[in-house]
């Protein structure tokens, strides 16, 4: 662990006031000793930098998958007050509402007699890679509807089940979205891309439920040992990236205009009450809606493919849940004993609301929110549940994945995609991607052990493990 950071609880470490100048609150890191050895000094400094921003409440938080990012560390969480707080594109990220969803199926391992053919068909069906285009094109008023209503719009167009939107965070749309605040350039980038995985760490993975840790909650979530599930990870594509780019420029000017002293220009921000802050929020929410619609269309394409491949019914593949990773949202939390409306930034972090929250679907009110944590192509993924401890400690937040330990550039220099693919095939995992570099960049060795990351949040009480899922095949962007 880095000098000056001290242990204060189970896997809980304090980044003290004064770690960087002008901190308003201390930082909190959730790490095991093992993960702490890999903590980047730059990521810890970014966590402390966030603690200098106006209106921050409680602490600046870092999850066990923390690593260096743009402005905020990836794996960072911070909540800001309604009156004095700010909103920062660096606290959301370029891939607005990059998120993950889990879909159940009635299939078992015995049904997957030719796994290579299945992954090949998925790769043909789901557009992947940089600049990939979907089979549907949304423009004009249709794009306005999609940006304003998210997954509900495409479901009404016949691309989903009636309950799909209810089983998403925010019911698959943010009501504060304003399509008019999305630039023409962002709209043009988004018109052909809805229903595509994109590039980078985005994927669609075929998984088997290898172990149930909590049978009662697993039953409530609709997941059984030995069953086959599909996990989809993607975001708002070029549209979201452009929204972030557009508003970072505005925020850099706004920070100076409002006299906000920044330790890092990548933390450019504006007061939540300002026109610049509200404009970014409206555009960001629209991009988040685009991302939910994107994952919904991919889900529809997956279901229709599996209908034909396995002769199962579309309705037999329910959505378990869909969570956002890169987003800022208004939420109500208990602060100093009182309910307060705060703007929570989660940048590479997952909402983990505990039992009883009105925002959750009725079927999950007693269990807490499903939390979906993907592994790294060759490692386990996990289904967890949100907890009351997370509500008390981290504004209802937990980790979002394994977290990188090596850059994509370093991965391509050190590894060959063909070798990574061959190694995974020996383990029974079929991988397909647009290029060998895309596979090398996402090699399991470039990530922290997902089991260790999830162990930390489970033992720290930020979410509890319900099921382990092992990869069988994956298509990567």
Annotated binding site: 95, 201-205, 233, 325-326, 374-377, 381, 400-403, 476
The two structure tokens encoding residue 85: 């707080």
Phi, psi of 315 (to 5 degrees): -70, -10
In sign, the C-alpha dihedral spanning 361, 367, 371, 376 is negative
Distance between CA atoms of residues 109 and 173, nearest Å: 35
Distance between CA atoms of residues 236 and 286, nearest Å: 10
β-strands 99-108, 86-87 pairing: unpaired
* DSSP conformation class of 270: E
The two structure tokens encoding residue 383: 């289904």
* DSSP conformation class of 64: E
Contact 186, 246 (CB under 8 A): yes
* DSSP conformation class of 404: B
Which secondary-structure segment (H or E) carries 29? strand 27-30
241 is catalytic: no
How does DSSP assign 252-315, residue by residue?
Answer: HHHHHHTT---SSGGG--EETTSHHHHHHHHHHHHHHHHHHHHHHHHHHHHHHHHHHHH---GG
Catalytic residue among 59, 173, 247, 400: 400
Please return the burial class of 159, using the count of CB atoms within 10 Å of its CB with bins 0-12, 13-18 and 19+: buried
Q: Is 259 left (phi over 0), alpha (psi -120 to 50) or beta?
A: left
147: number of Cβ within 10 Å: 30
Catalytic residues: 400
């Amino acid at each position: 662990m880095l000098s000056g950071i001290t242990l204060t609880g189970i896997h809980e470490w304090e980044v003290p006031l004064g770690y960087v100048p002008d901190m308003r609150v201390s930082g909190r890191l959730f790490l095991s000793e093992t993960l702490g050895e890999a903590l980047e000094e730059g990521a810890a400094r970014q966590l402390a930098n966030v603690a200098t921003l106006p209106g921050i409440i409680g602490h600046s938080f870092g999850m066990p998958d923390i690593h260096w990012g743009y402005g905020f560390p990836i794996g960072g969480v911070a909540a800001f007050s309604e009156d004095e707080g700010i909103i920062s594109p660096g606290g959301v990220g370029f891939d607005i509402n990059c998120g993950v969803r889990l879909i159940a199926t009635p299939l078992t391992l015995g049904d997957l007699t030719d796994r290579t053919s299945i992954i090949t068909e998925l790769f043909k069906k789901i557009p992947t890679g940089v600049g990939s285009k979907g089979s549907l094109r949304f423009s004009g008023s249709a794009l306005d509807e999609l940006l304003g209503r998210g997954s509900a719009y495409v479901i009404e167009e016949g691309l989903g089940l009636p309950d799909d939107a209810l089983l998403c965070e925010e019911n698959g749309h943010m009501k504060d979205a304003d399509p008019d605040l999305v630039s023409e350039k962002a709209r043009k980038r988004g018109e052909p891309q809805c229903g595509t995985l994109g590039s980078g760490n985005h994927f669609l993975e075929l998984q088997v439920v290898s172990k149930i840790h909590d049978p009662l909650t697993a039953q409530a979530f609709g997941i059984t040992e030995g069953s086959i599930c599909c996990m989809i990870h993607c975001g708002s594509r070029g549209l979201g990236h452009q929204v972030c780019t557009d508003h970072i420029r505005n925020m850099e000017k706004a920070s100076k205009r409002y006299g906000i002293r920044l330790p890092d220009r990548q933390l450019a921000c504006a007061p939540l009450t300002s026109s610049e802050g509200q404009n970014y929020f409206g555009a960001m929410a629209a991009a988040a809606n685009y991302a939910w619609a994107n994952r919904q269309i991919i889900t529809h394409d997956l279901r229709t493919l599996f209908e034909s491949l396995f002769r199962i019914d579309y309705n037999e593949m329910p959505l378990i849940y869909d969570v956002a990773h890169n987003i800022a949202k208004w939420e109500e939390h208990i602060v100093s004993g009182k309910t307060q409306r705060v703007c929570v930034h989660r940048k590479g972090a997952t909402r983990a609301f505990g039992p009883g929250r009105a925002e959750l679907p009725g079927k999950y009110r007693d269990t807490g929110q499903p939390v979906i944590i993907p592994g790294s192509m060759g490692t386990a993924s996990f289904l967890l549940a949100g907890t009351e401890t997370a509500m008390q400690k981290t504004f209802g937040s937990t980790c979002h994945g394994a977290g990188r330990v090596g850059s994509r550039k370093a991965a391509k220099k050190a590894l060959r995609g063909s070798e990574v693919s061959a190694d995974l095939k020996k383990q029974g995992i079929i991988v397909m991607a647009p290029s060998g570099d895309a596979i090398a960049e996402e090699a399991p060795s470039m990530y922290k052990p997902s089991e260790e990351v999830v162990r930390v949040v489970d033992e720290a009480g930020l979410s509890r493990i319900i099921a382990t899922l092992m990869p069988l095949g994956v298509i990567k962007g």
